[in-house]
Amino acid sequence: MRKMMSAFAALATAATAVVAMSGAAQAAPASNSTVWGCPSGAVCIYGQGVDPVANPHPTNVYYSYGAHNLSNQVGYHIVLNNQYGGASASLCNNYGGTGCVWNIPQDYYVYYDLTPINSITLNRP
């Protein structure tokens, strides 16, 4: 257990550093494949403190374009955009997909504090 937590801490630290420097980290090359348990064409949120490499089971999976309101998402989570065709996802402070503060390109993920985030949008290319 200690080894797994150390590995997650290293992943989280690396992901935070990459996100801080470049805005988002690339999860995988563009393809139509499942990544970390997130189906092709979906945007996935993993549980707080979960390492998706070791535990590839997202808690939230979104397929349809538009806004999706969030609830009970506090603390830092990995949000993976496994859509295709150039579709992006946005994290928004307000319900209904308004007040967006972070954009996640296709095949990228962010390690983000979802406490102030109340919705996520899946955006057409």
Q: What is the mean pLDDT of residues 88-95?
A: 98
Q: What is the CATH number of the domain that holds 56?
A: 2.60.20.30
How is residue 123 written in tokens?
A: 């955006």
Domain total in the chain: 1
pLDDT of residue 72: 92
pLDDT tens for each residue of 24-82: 766 555 557 899 999 999 999 999 999 999 999 999 999 999 999 999 999 999 999 99
Q: What is the span of the domain harbouring residue 10?
A: 2-123
pLDDT digits (tens, 9 = 90+) for 107-120: 999 999 999 999 99
Which residues does residue 66 pair with via DSSP β-bridges, in sequence order?
122
